Amino acid sequence: MTASVPLPWLVIPTYNEAENVERVVGLSREVLAAACPDGFRILIVDDRSPDGTGEIADRLAAAHPDEVVVLHRERPDGLGPAYLAGFGLALRSGASHVLEMDADLSHDPRDLARLLGATHEGADLALGSRYVPGGGVSDWGLLRRVISRGGSWYARRMLGLSVRDLTGGFKCFRAETLRAIDLPTVRSVGYAFQVELTWRAVRAGFRVVEVPIVFRDRTAGTSKMHARIAVEAARLVPALRRSGWAPPLGAPTPAGDAAATDPRSADPAGR
């Protein structure tokens, strides 16, 4: 599928999200229809969900052929590869912007318009951030809050970044930003994928802006977080620092100045 006019694409990976996928797509369609008068695409990337998520996604695509697209993958091999497959299809189809969002309604679809708006105002990557003023989480216990904040603090310190929320998965990229960060060489599989993409965007000199959001725990379905994902994230961060990754020659460059992060992303307390 190739759009005649570059359109924003929203990529939503799914695995066993039959209880959520119809609602998240419906709410996202409403928001994007208002924010994107020239059109948009919602791409559901399903990893052969045994609960029927893929079949529901196909029905949504049949009902809304100009807005909803489904990519069926052969097996569930991680969040990162699912996103990479979706990003690749969006870029090949001429996307102007690529957004990503969880399927479980932890991210509020109403915030899609704010993320897009931040890129229209000059951001190369807009992050939905829980850890800037105005952001937060709800329905989390103390242990999960400590792990999440601690993980972001650890990644910031190890990588020398000022971005407060490095592990979140609610983002909007300008297409040029994704092309510049060399997606075929991204190797992280779990939630460390989010850290790696943001780190690469900063390394490439793109402007990263954190947009405050409130993250809510899922009310239907089961969480995909497990110990292996946390271990991978802890191991990846020092490996990223050692790698010294830089964008390949000929990669797109930032449209504006080369500031790595917007001042709103800075941590004035140095935490």
Q: What is the pLDDT of residues 173-213, one digit of tens each?
A: 999 999 999 999 998 887 789 999 999 999 999 999 999 99
Decide if 127 contacts 171 (C-beta within 8 A): yes
CA–CA distance, 55 with 70 (Å, rounded to integer) = 10
Query: Which residue has 């802006």 as its token pair?
Result: 209
Q: Which two tokens stand for residue 80?
A: 């990162």
Q: Is the pLDDT of residue 257 over 50?
A: no
Q: How far apart are CA 144 and CA 96, in angstroms?
A: 35
At 140 the pLDDT is 72
| 3-state SS class at 46 | strand
Which pLDDT belongs to residue 28?
98
For 30-61, letters b (16+ CB in 10 Å) and e give: ebbeebbeeebbbbbbbbebeeebbebbeebb
Residue 138 forms part of a structural domain: yes
> Given this model, what pLDDT does residue 261 score?
47
Give the pLDDT of residue 266. 38
43 has a pLDDT exceeding 50? yes
Pair of tokens at residue 187? 């190797």
Q: How many helices (H) and strands (E) does the chain have?
A: 8, 9
**pLDDT (0 to 100) of residue 228:** 58
In a domain, 3, yes or no: no
Query: Measured between alpha carbons, how far is 266 from 210 in angstroms, rounded to an integer?
Result: 9
Q: Inform me whether the pLDDT recorded for 129 exceeds 60.
A: yes
- Note whether residue 91 is domain-resident: yes
For 1-31, the pLDDT digits (tens) are: 445 689 999 999 999 999 999 999 999 999 9
Query: What is the reported pLDDT for 233?
Result: 66
Q: Which two tokens stand for residue 270?
A: 């140095």
pTM metric for this prediction: 0.87
Burial of 230 (0-12, 13-18, 19+ CB in 10 A): middle
Is 2 domain-assigned?
no
**Contacts for 241 with CB less than 8 Å, ≥ 6 apart:** 158, 159, 160
Residue 52 forms part of a structural domain? yes
Residue 245 has pLDDT above 50, yes or no: yes
Residue 271 lies in a domain: no
| Cβ(132)–Cβ(212) below 8 Å | yes
pLDDT band at 135 (very low <50, low <70, confident <90, very high): very high
Residue 64 has pLDDT above 90, yes or no: yes
Chain-centre distance for alpha carbon 201: 13
Question: CA 149, CA 220: separation in Å to the nearest integer?
Answer: 24
- In terms of average pLDDT, the best of 77-81, 121-125, 191-195 is 121-125
For residue 95, give the CATH number of its domain.
3.90.550.10
Residues spanned by the domain of 72: 8-265
CA–CA dist 145, 136 (Å, integer): 10
How many independent structural domains does the chain possess? Answer: 1
> What is the rounded distance in angstroms from the CA atom of residue 168 to the CA atom of residue 171?
8
Residue 1, domain member (yes or no): no
- Site of tokens 């590869």: 81
CB 168 within 8 A of CB 128: yes
Nearest to 266 by CA among 202, 214, 194: 202
Is 36 contained in some domain? yes
Helix (H, G, I), strand (E, B) or coil at 158: helix
Residues 210 and 164: beta-carbon distance below 8 Å? yes
**Closest to 84 measured CA to CA, from 150, 11, 24:** 11
pLDDT computed for residue 5 by the predictor: 85
